[in-house]
Structure 1
Amino acid sequence: MSGMLNELLKHKIVAILRGIEDDKADDTARALLDGGIRLMEITMNTDGAAAMISRWRERFGEEAHIGAGTVIDLDTAKQAVKAGAQFLISPNLDEEVIAYGREHGVSVWPGVMTPTEIVRAVKAGAEAVKLFPMGSLGVNYLKEIRGPLKEVPILATGGVDLHNIAEYFGSGANGVGLGTKLVNMEWVKEGQFHRITERARAFTLAVSELG
């Protein structure tokens, strides 16, 4: 098990930052860190994503683990790894991306939906998978696939909120990906970073209470 997978299993939350403006990005990251978030994913379809990853690695290197999201193909994976991403997350399963990550010592958590895709991902060398879109699939789906697929670490992404996070973990998730429910873009635009810290703290507390 890699160090990064350990961190995912320990902290259980990945904050997803998509489309964040560069001049608000650092304050947002700081606000998340102050609320206890330790894993942050900048999606590669965000303007200036590679530069942000690089900057955050330097600036928050001791406190946070910075990864790249929406890594849909090998070219994107190369850009992300070059920028210093410590983990790669995709909405899709691309064996080339997994192989490239392994080659460079970077964890890859590909997007999967079906049991076949989960098994394919593990065979290709993925240490964990991102079950997506959970908002549409629902926790019952997660519970059902957990029957035959007990050992695979699953990051459930989509549809998670404070009122149902316990249900996600109770149904077999090992971690959750949180986008706008955690990083409220209105608050970011308005510079209300204290509210992002409060929301982050509420989520980290909810996860810590799960034991």
Structure 2
Amino acid sequence: MSDMLELLTEHKIVAILRRIEDRHADDAARALIDGGIRIMEVTMNTDGAAAMIERWRGKFGGKAAVGAGTVTDMARAEQAVAAGAQFLISPNLDEEVIAYGRERGLSVWPGVMTPTEIVKAWKAGADAVKIFPMGTLGTGYLKEIRAPLDDIPMIATGGVDLHNIADYFKAGAVGVGMGGKLVNLEWIRDGRFDLVTERARQFVDAVQTL
């Protein structure tokens, strides 16, 4: 098991920061860390994502892992790696991106949906896969595909909230990716970082009992 996958298995939540404004980003990251979040993903379709990743590696390196999301192709993979991303996540399966990350010792968690894609990603070197979009597929789907593919770690992304988060882990997820339900951009724009911290703490407390 890679160090990053071990961290995910322990802490279970990946906070997804998408389209966050750079002027709020550091305070938002700090608020999440104060709430117990230990893995943060900056999506590469966020303005200034690479600079944000590089800055956070310096500011928060000892407190949380910082990686890149929405790494849809090699151009974004190269930008993310140059910025110091510790892991790469994508909504799609690109075997070239997996190979590129693995050659540099990074965990790569590609987005997949079908059993064929899951196995293909695993054989290409992914040490976990992101089942997406889980909000549409549902936990029943995850449970079904876990039955024959239980040796492949699966991250569930989409549809997770406080009321159902336990269901994702009961269905076999090793971790969950969480965007707006965890990282409320309205609170962040209003400077209510106390609410961001409290929300993070609620989710962290919820998974610690699993």
TM-score (norm 1): 0.99
Which of structure 1's runs of 4+ aligned residues deviate more than 6 A?
none
Q: Deviations over 1:159-197 (max 9, x none)?
A: 000000001100111100000000011101100000000
Q: How many matched pairs? A: 210
Residue 62 of structure 2 corresponds to 62
Query: Which whole-Å CA distance do the structure 2 matches of 1:139 and 1:174 have between them?
Result: 13
Residue 158 of structure 2 corresponds to 158
State the SS of the aligned residue for 1:88. Answer: strand
Query: Any gaps of 5 or more consecutive residues in structure 1?
Result: none
Residue 4 of structure 1 corresponds to 4
* AA matched with 1:94: D
Q: Deviations over 1:117-156 (max 9, x none)?
A: 0000000000000000000000000010011001111110
Residue 168 of structure 1 corresponds to 168
Task: Quote how far apart the aligned CAs of 1:75 are.
Answer: 1.0
State the SS of the aligned residue for 1:155. Answer: strand
Residue 199 of structure 1 corresponds to 199
State the SS of the aligned residue for 2:8. Answer: helix
* AA matched with 1:47: D
State the SS of the aligned residue for 1:196. Answer: helix
TM-score (norm 2): 0.99
Percent identity, please.
72
> How large is the Cα RMSD of the aligned pairs?
0.4
Query: Any gaps of 5 or more consecutive residues in structure 2?
Result: none
Residue 96 of structure 1 corresponds to 96
Task: Quote how far apart the aligned CAs of 1:109 are.
Answer: 0.2
